Amino acid sequence: MEGEQSVDLIRVQLRKQRALAGMNQEEFGKRTNYSASTVSAVETGTRPVDLPYARRADEILETGGLFESLLRTAQQDAQPAWFMPWLKAERAAKQLRYFNPTLIPGLFQTENYARTVLRFDDTCPEQEIEQQVAARMERQEILRRERPPQIFAVIDEAALRRANAIMAEQLAHLVREAELPHVHIHIIPARAGLHVGLDGPLLLAMLPDGTWIGHLDSQLGGESADTDEKVIKLLGRWEGVRTVALPEDLSLDLIKEVESQHGPQ
């Protein structure tokens, strides 16, 4: 609720600052390279405020990064408390490790895939889902920072083969991300059979001082794993899933093969 109120405040301020600058929605759209209908949708709440829009508004309205700052704060407020320790670790990490036996990790999800996953909670209002999608996309900025973390991801082949109209787009995106020099994606082939990772997903972050923090997702949310005992256990589980995964080149070949089977985008 707090995050939703913050986003509403951003919309009010966007309308106010645009009006103070003497621009109607059409004029503002031309200056920002958005259509008048998009400007209207953002200001009325039928389209989420995302970082590109906030940054362009800051530039045109000369607000010194105000809207980007407000949006980042709103996105943080919208995150559940149990996820905040992981978000902080993810932003600071020098190395990240992700494993998921059922889904594409959030750091590599497209908007359409993320939206579909977040709609698993059919009681969540659409506006809140769109805020969560925008926040998930914002997390992905670490992939293209000037000094990005080294990222390893292990994904079960089953996650690639979910029959859905959005999967061709998602897999094409995964291929592009896998080609980044600091991103290393490994697939556990179906022929591996039962393996230790089937117990559930795990996330690990190595911080600048060399310490590790882990995170575990569940149906009820998630929890941090920051004690030595828990981290050592998760590192052991990571080695277990990494051992049964394919090398990078064969993993990329498998992703492309499955992508071709999902048909045209």
Q: Say how far apart CA 91 and CA 2 lie, in whole Å.
A: 22
User: Which residue pairs, CB below 8 angstroms and at least 24 apart, start in 211-220?
Assistant: 213/85, 213/86, 213/89, 215/85, 215/86, 215/89
Answer yes or no: do 159 and 179 share one domain.
Answer: yes
For residue 222, the surrounding DSSP H or E stretch is strand 221-225
| pTM across the whole model | 0.75
Last residue of a domain, one of 49, 77, 105: 77
Q: Say how far apart CA 172 and CA 109 lie, in whole Å.
A: 11
Query: Which runs of E-coded beta strand occur in 30-159?
Result: 95-100, 150-156
Phi, psi angle pair for 96, to nearest 5°? -125, 140
Token pair recorded at residue 6: 């913050």
Answer yes or no: do 45 and 147 share one domain.
Answer: no
CB-CB contact of 189 with 254 (8 Å):
yes
Per-residue pLDDT of the chain in tens (265 residues, 90 and over written 9): 444 667 788 888 899 999 999 999 999 999 999 999 999 998 888 887 888 888 899 999 999 988 888 887 776 666 666 677 888 899 999 999 999 999 999 999 999 999 999 988 888 888 778 878 888 888 898 999 999 999 999 999 999 998 678 999 999 999 999 999 999 999 999 998 888 888 888 999 999 999 999 998 766 567 778 888 999 999 999 999 999 999 999 999 999 999 988 765 5
Q: For residue 69, what is the domain's CATH number?
A: 1.10.260.40
Answer yes or no: do 105 and 61 share one domain.
Answer: no
Domains: count for the chain: 2
Total number of residues shown for the chain: 265
Phi, psi angle pair for 26, to nearest 5°? -65, -45
Which residue range forms the structural domain that includes residue 72?
A: 2-77
Answer yes or no: do 32 and 140 share one domain.
Answer: no
Q: How far is CA 36 from the centre of its chain?
A: 28
